[in-house]
A and B are shown apart, each in its own frame.
Chain A
Amino acid sequence: MVAEAVKPKAEVPPPEKWVDEYGDYLYRCAFVRLHDPELAADAVQETLLAALESIDRLENPAAMKSWLVGILKHKVIDHFRKRSRERPVSEVDSSDDPFDEFFDAAGEWKPGFPKDWGENPGAELEKSEFWSTFRECLAKLPGRLSQAFALRVLDDRSSEEVYKEMDITPTNLWVILYRARMHLRRCLEMNWFTGTDR
């Protein structure tokens, strides 16, 4: 037992290797949430500096990567908080509304929508090019929608955590997430699945 406690420490690479070892992975994690190279790189830097300060608290060196991702997610939330303070986001704004294009006044789908995505749209997720399009669609989400979607779906936090974090009502959160999903649905339809319309 004692021997085990001494040994694993050696598995953590020295800090000068961290950027090469974890930099790209952390950057991708940050980029899908922040969509901006500079913001994403800042989050990576803050994450690694925080890790340096608290490396003694890492209990299982084999879990270094997921430990870093945990820190990164907190750094991303810090960024969201800062942005919300600068630009409050509590109101639901109808300009984020992706519905008029597809639904008529009675709230029914307009003729021709939603388009056919083919027999097996799930198979598209196996194509590497799909992810380039998907990332671009994520990046196009309006700020508050993007933030809610990142916390709820990408981070897989509970609805309760997310509406408390964003300081909005549960109903507001659900409307925002519905809009985010509809935006993404439309974006994929236009930029990926249009070719499969038949």
Chain B
Amino acid sequence: MTTNPSLIGIVGAGTMGAGIAQVSAQAGWDTVVYDISQEFVDQGLSRIRGFLQKGRERGKLSAEEERKILSRLHGSVKLEGLQDASLVIEAALEKLDLKREIFHQLDSICDPTTLLATNTSSLSVTAIAGATKNPQRVLGMHFFNPPPLMALVEVIRADRTSPAAMEKAVAITRRLGKTPVCVQDTPGFIVNRIARPFYNEALRILGEGQVSVESVDRIMKDAGGFPMGPFELMDLIGIDINFAVTESLYLSFFHDPRFRPSPIQQRMVLAGELGRKTGRGFYTYGAK
């Protein structure tokens, strides 16, 4: 088996998978997007088409560039469709068993020199790598949402990732037009961990009473210089998604009180008040 150095495989055609595929195709790689059904693959590809079309309408790329990018994108409903790739980035659902199964299969389908990366934001890369026979070529490449717009990629070193694999992933990240930052495989890596208090402590302060959501947001912007307040940002991210990240860190650190989730946030998740996407979160939006 040999690998095609100009081919990147993506597992999962959801928001992150499609976004990463777009980044890859835009940077000049032939890109194969795998998902379990043609319907999911088509949805992902049409999401990319929509994104590119908007970019063209805003004058950010020409019709010719758009055509070239689209010509580099291919779909597959078979994992074997990724067998020639020199790098596979997995962006499936955040379920450890599922990811382990995917890596177990990729490990035998792909050449032993193929880099296998997971885009997980909350699971242990080492735990995923443990499902393979060649864990030295397994690492994390954590993109941020939306991948075409966010410059950062956390390149995560699992316990058995080789230095050569890290170097290769860092170089590819740069060629994708992104800024790589190397991180040890620890819960939440850098960003999701260190940003926790921005949300959690704001929730704690809200729970202590005598201060409003609006007031905390205004203070963080006007006194602190943050571009957005914590509550408006949680509404934008989605209260459920934000809560899931906090809960995952709390469990990963074995109930360290630094990561203890807030009952206010849990209550909102259970009530379906998830932020902008449901029309109601810490603020009320539109006529939904």
The yes or no verdict on A and B being binding partners is: no
